[in-house]
Amino acid sequence: MSNKRTKNQEQILKLINNNSEEMSAQNLHFQIQQHGLRIGLATVYRTLKLLKIEGEIQERVTPDGESFYSTINSVYHHYHHLNCVNCGKSYPMNICPLSQKITDWCHSQKFKVYYHTLEFFGLCAACQDQDIASECLSAN
């Protein structure tokens, strides 16, 4: 029963809570070193997994497979995005179209909801005006 957090784990959580932007594991590890702390990359990943299970932080996986983490508690960080499948840009939305009802329903299913992700995919205005397909594979 490891109910108590390690000093390392506390510092990582603190760093996430105090940061206004979502951060990747690599980025977190880098910032930790900047602060003069010595926490191994493996420990960062282990702690992220732990905090995720404890419901302290949320994870967003980008289309290129990298994970970004941020605190769950702050409403400030509850953002959804319009993601362009062409240029890859993400445009944050300032609304959450989910009613409380649906979250209640999830709980009624015996599922304990920590957080949700909602992402839209399509073409941004700029990319709608281009000949997309031709540029898509132009690099090769």
Partner DNA sequence: CTGAAAGTGATAATCATTCTCATAATACAG
Partner DNA sequence: CTGTATTATGAGAATGATTATCACTTTCAG
Residues engaged in binding Mn ion (CB under 5 A): 96, 98
84 is a contact residue toward Zn ion (CB under 5 A) = yes
Residue window 62-91: x/- pattern of binding to a copy of itself, with contact defined by CB under 8 A: xx-xxx--------------x-xxx----x
Q: Segment near a copy of itself (CB under 8 A), from 14-22, 23-31, 32-40, 48-56?
A: 48-56
* Spatial distance between the Cα atoms of 11 and 58, rounded to a whole number of angstroms: 17
Which token pair is 39?
């926490």
Interface with a copy of itself by CB under 8 A: which range of 10-18, 19-27, 28-36, 98-106?
A: 98-106
CB of 21 to a copy of itself, least distance (A): 20
Site for Zn ion in 100-139 (CB under 5 A): 124, 127
Q: Work out how close the CB of 140 gets to DNA at its nearest, in angstroms, rounded to a whole number.
A: 4
Copy the structure tokens of residue 23: 């951060």
Structure-token pair, residue 88: 């890859």
Q: How far apart are CA 38 and CA 29, in angstroms?
A: 9
Sheet strands side by side (includes 57-61): 23-24, 67-71, 57-61
Q: What are 92's strand-pairing partners?
A: 81
Q: Which is nearer to a copy of itself, 34 or 45 (CB)?
A: 45
Query: Which two structure tokens, joined as six digits, stand for 25?
Result: 């594991």
DSSP reduced 3-state for 35: coil
The answer to whether 126 and 87 have CB atoms below 8 angstroms apart is yes
Which positions lie near a copy of itself, rule CB under 8 A? 1-3, 46, 49-50, 52-55, 58-59, 61-63, 65-67, 82, 84-86, 91, 95, 97-99, 101-102, 106, 109-125, 128, 131-134, 136-137, 140
